[in-house]
Amino acid sequence: MSSLQSLAVLLVDDNQHMRAITSAVLNSAGIHKVHEAPDGAVALDILSHQPVDLAIVDYNMFPLDGVEFTRLVRTGPDSANIYLPIIMMSGHAEKSRIYAARDAGVTEFLVKPITAKAILDRINAVILKPRAFIKTSAYCGPCRRRRDVEAYAGPFRRAADSRRSPRAA
C-alpha cells in the first residue's frame, strides 16, 4: 500500500496525452485521486470546489498558463489555498522560464520529458522536505533559497552586514 494513496492531485496540462502519461505514473504510485484540467482557468474552478493536496501544472497553456495560475493561487483574493504545493512541468528549461516559475511561487520545477522517478522525487520533496513559506508585498510562495548555509547566523546576509551591530540597524 502506497503512502501517497491519500493524496488528491490536480493535474493541469493542455495536452491530453501528457495528462494521461502523468496520471498513469501517479496511479502506479498509488495516487488515485487525480483531478484533471486542460488549462489554468479550469484548474482554478476545480480548486474552488475540490480539496487538493498538490498541483502538477504545465508551464505553457492557453488561456491561463502555469505561471499565471500559480500567481492566482498564491495571491488571488479568492484563492482556495495559497500554500498549495505546485510542481511545474515544462518542455523548456531556459533559466528565464525557471526564474519566472520560481518568482510566481512554484514549489518545484520538472523538465519534460518526464520520468516516473522525476515526478515521484518532486512529490516526495514537497511532502517530506517542505520549504518555509514566505509572504511579503512582493512575493508569496515557498522560500526561494535552496540550500541551508550552516555558517549563517542571520539576519545579516552580506559580508559588510556582519560588521554591523544588530542594534545599529
The predicted pLDDT at position 146 comes to 59
Q: Mean pLDDT of residues grouped by 10 in the chain (169 residues)? A: 84 97 96 97 96 97 96 94 96 93 96 95 92 91 72 56 48
> Given this model, what pLDDT does residue 157 score?
54
What are the extents of the domains in the chain? Answer: 8-147
* Rg of the chain (C-alpha set): 18
| Domain made up of 8-147: CATH architecture | 3-Layer(aba) Sandwich (3.40)
CB 12 within 8 A of CB 40: yes
Residue 113 CB coordination number (10 Å): 9
pTM of this structure? 0.84
Q: Phi and psi dihedrals of 52, rounded to 5?
A: -130, 140
Say if strands 133-135 and 108-111 run parallel, antiparallel, or are unpaired. Answer: unpaired
pLDDT at 114: 93
Instruction: Give 43's Cβ-side CA count (13 Å radius).
Output: 34
Pairing verdict, β 54-58 and 86-90: parallel
pLDDT value for 1: 43
